[in-house]
Structure 1
Amino acid sequence: MLIDQEIRPVMPYTRPRGKKEFFRKHEYVYDEYYDCYICPNNQILKYSTTNRDGYREYKSDPKICINCPDINKCTNSKNHTKVVTRHIWENYMEEVEHLRHTSINKEIYDMRKETIERVFADMKEKHGMRWTTLRGLKKVKAQAMLIAACMNLKKIANWMWRSRKNGPNPSNPCVNMHGLLSNLYSFIICSLRNTVSIKKETVFCLQTEIKTKTVQDSF
């Protein structure tokens, strides 16, 4: 969807998964023209079927694989058949991987520590998102959305305050809107603190395991 809308995707590096002693998926070369995979021993894995999850399955010839010297590095299948899957949208993921090595993506990715990571840190340290005293996905989601709304209001207020041209003039509409948004932000935070009050509750850690302790409020 990002590529179709001409939005540049900036994704992190993902380590290869699977057993270390086995061949990695990138060692099986995909031939786009013939729509097949080629194994490290130059044998062809032909297209077989497409499963319900949207993955195209490419299978090897068991008559050839049974005599392969590297079969122990390839598969543990009892019928000596190697299966490599390829999603129907894999070409988009390959384009994302290609863009990851460009200098533009590297510059944009470095901005994470100045933008996205700071937002997460503020949510955990200043708005109580490191722990939750609510039970159920619906309640926790509502709490998180309210906190996100508060942070957006605070960000808009800061932007408007910095964009003023003539200094902190009370007649400046930017300054008035800044005060309005700040008051609204404070009102929502106080409402959350007053409406959600729990004397003793199981506190769920959003990062590690479940812990139990006594709390007076949710924040």
Structure 2
Amino acid sequence: MRKTEYVYDEYYDAYICPQGQMLPYSTTTKEGYRQYFSNPMECQSCPLLSSCTQSMEHKKLIQRHVWEPYLEEADHLRHTQENKHIYAKRKESIERVFADAKEKHGMRWTTQEG
């Protein structure tokens, strides 16, 4: 099962599986991912175990980056009416600048020296 099939609860800082089990926060990796593990005792008897995890320990791991709340907020804002209107103007302003840089200033190709 994918991470999107689980619900993130901000108040408890935990994920909730489709069967209602909470996956509490466990630790943060060096790469900045917060890890949430399920309780293997509860997962053993779960009817969704085979589709949920392949783990021999019957543990489900979900990782959430420490910046993910900001990415979710940006994604939410991207779908507002005001931002859809602004994004439609992008082709009239930003894209033209890139096209001019490519055609008139020789930025079609770059060279890499190494």
The TM tier, using the shorter chain, reads 0.7 to 0.9
Query: Cα offset for 1:134?
Result: 4.4
Q: Secondary structure at the match of 1:132?
A: coil
% identity of equivalent residues: 63
Counterpart for residue 25 of structure 2 = 47
Deviations 1:20-73 (A, max 9, x none): xxx332221111111110012211101111111222111011222233222233
Unaligned runs of at least 5 residues, structure 1: 1-22, 137-219
**Amino acid across the alignment from 1:128:** G
**Amino acid across the alignment from 1:25:** K
Query: Cα offset for 1:114?
Result: 1.5
1:74 aligns with 2:41: no
TM-score by length of 1: 0.47
1:65 and 1:77 map into 2 onto residues whose CA distance is: 11
Equivalent of 1:104, from 79, 82, 101?
82
2:17 and 2:57 map into 1 onto residues whose CA distance is: 17
TM-score by length of 2: 0.82
The higher relative CO (CA closer than 8 Å, separation ≥ 6) is in 2
Unaligned runs of at least 5 residues, structure 2: none
Structure possessing the higher radius of gyration over alpha carbons = 1
1:125 aligns with 2:111: no
Identify if the C-alpha distance between structure 1 residues 132 and 77 changes in structure 2 by more than 3 Å, giving closer, same or farther: same
Give me the CA root mean square deviation: 1.9
**Amino acid across the alignment from 1:43:** Q
Identify if the C-alpha distance between structure 1 residues 116 and 72 changes in structure 2 by more than 3 Å, giving closer, same or farther: farther
Q: Secondary structure at the match of 1:46?
A: strand
Identify if the C-alpha distance between structure 1 residues 76 and 134 changes in structure 2 by more than 3 Å, giving closer, same or farther: same
1:46 and 1:116 map into 2 onto residues whose CA distance is: 44
Structure 1's consecutive aligned runs of 4 or more residues displaced over 6 angstroms after TM superposition are: none
